[in-house]
Amino acid sequence: MRHMRILVIGGGIGGLTSALALRRFGHDVDVIERDPTWSVYGVGIIQQGNVVRAMKQLDLLDDYLDVAFGFDHVEVFIPTGQSVAKIPTPALVPGYPANVGIGRPALHKVLGDRTIAAGATVRLGITADALIDDGDGVDVRFSDGSEARYDIVVGADGLYSTTRALIMPDAPEPEFTGQAVWRHNFARPAEVTGLCAYEGPIGVGLVPLSSKQMYMFVTTPEPGNPWRERTGLAAAMRERLNAVPAPVIRALASQIVDDEAVVYKPLEWLFLEGDWHRGRIVLIGDAVHSTTPHLGQGAGMAIEDSIVLAEELAAANTPEHAFAAFRNRRYERCRFIVESSLAICRGQLGLGPRIENAAATREMFVKVAEPI
């Protein structure tokens, strides 16, 4: 199918890469985003070789790497700070890094700028209040009172997808894992040249973002999923790091003093077992397979979704055939990431067997190196 008019709901990583992938096949694409400021968290994100490969497919690789920090290994530490494994990671694009750390604002700017330059229309502060699929197209009523008709609609609006709620009102709700993640940026020490992962009930990772900056992520048990005000977040993050004896981590903890610099997020997961579409409306990314961050593949799975969806739409005769083929290509790979990440989380909480980070990381790299 060619030259369709497509609405993408959600202006995050999955929505923007979908717009880019669809524009490459000549479709007219509108993107809507509910946040009028189009803002993202100020901390970083880690992305592995499969994302580097995907960025090459989207013709974004050089822009992407210009604002990222490339590296080729993961080093695993026990809680005391002793290194127990240094895992080389495979480069999937010859001559380019195997992994990158990148600030979310920098990634967002690259994707947003390139989406607009590619000819997609981006509207901010807008939601889709009604999606009326008559079999030949989808009539959309927007929150500003405007209406438009599209050939298909792509719901890339995240874990709490309103698109999912509109088309699948009986779909399962996101489930809290019992853990939360805390994030904070720091000046990068010279020795942090790859992902440094600290095992234990309190999981800690250090990820380089640039020549000058890195970020820390910390996964902690949070029974009852408590709501947290911003005031006091820095002290609460420091308190949790008291349980990690590694000298490097204790020294960094003492620098966490600004509540505004801490990003706190309860960890939830979701995986839809059935179809990922209804009629001419399809869901991608966190709207169908939201994972915990233990393997660093949430954004990667959404980016891969974008490429596969565009490919299947180009190859199929009908949207439903394309959506079924898309789901079939993505299902097992995404389920592996969700379930493997959740197993690490549950092991840290004592709700399942303890998962060795080094082994889980090696298995993940083998899996994501496979073609999408």
Structure tokens at 128: 């889709």
pLDDT band at 155 (very low <50, low <70, confident <90, very high): very high
**Cα(95)–Cα(97) distance, rounded to whole angstroms?**
7
Looking at residues 251-261, what average pLDDT do you find? Answer: 97
pLDDT in tens, 42-100: 999 999 999 999 999 999 999 999 999 999 999 999 999 999 999 899 899 999 999 99
**Cα(251)–Cα(204) distance, rounded to whole angstroms?**
13
* 153 burial type by CB count under 10 A (0-12 exposed, 13-18 middle, 19+ buried): buried
What pTM value is reported for the model?
Answer: 0.96
pLDDT band at 356 (very low <50, low <70, confident <90, very high): confident
- Give the architecture-level CATH label for domain 177-267: 2-Layer Sandwich (3.30)
pLDDT in tens, 178-198: 999 999 999 999 999 999 999
Cross-strand pairs, 100? 47, 70
The pLDDT of residue 337: 98
Task: Name the region of 81 (left: φ>0; alpha: ψ -120 to 50; beta: rest).
Answer: left
Average pLDDT over the chain, rounded to an integer: 96
CATH 3.30.9.30, the chain: domain bounds: 177-267
Cross-strand pairs, 107? none
Q: Is residue 357 predicted with pLDDT exceeding 90?
A: no
- What's the chain's length in residues? 372
Looking at residues 288-300, what average pLDDT do you find? Answer: 96
In this structure, are strands 263-271 and 289-290 parallel, antiparallel, or unpaired?
antiparallel
Spatial CB neighbours of 97, under 8 Å, sequence gap ≥ 6: 52, 65, 70, 71, 72, 91
**Cα(142)–Cα(126) distance, rounded to whole angstroms?**
7
Compute CA distances 149 → 28, 138, 370, whole Å: 12, 6, 37
CATH 3.50.50.60, the chain: domain bounds: 5-70+98-174+269-369
* CB 163 within 8 Å of CB 18: no
- Which of 7-11, 28-32, 276-280, 363-367 is least confident? 363-367
The pLDDT of residue 2: 85
CATH of domain 5-70+98-174+269-369: 3.50.50.60
Q: Where are the alpha helices (DSSP H) in the chain?
A: 13-24, 49-57, 61-66, 104-117, 162-167, 233-241, 247-253, 298-315, 319-349, 357-369
Q: Is residue 200 predicted with pLDDT exceeding 90?
A: no
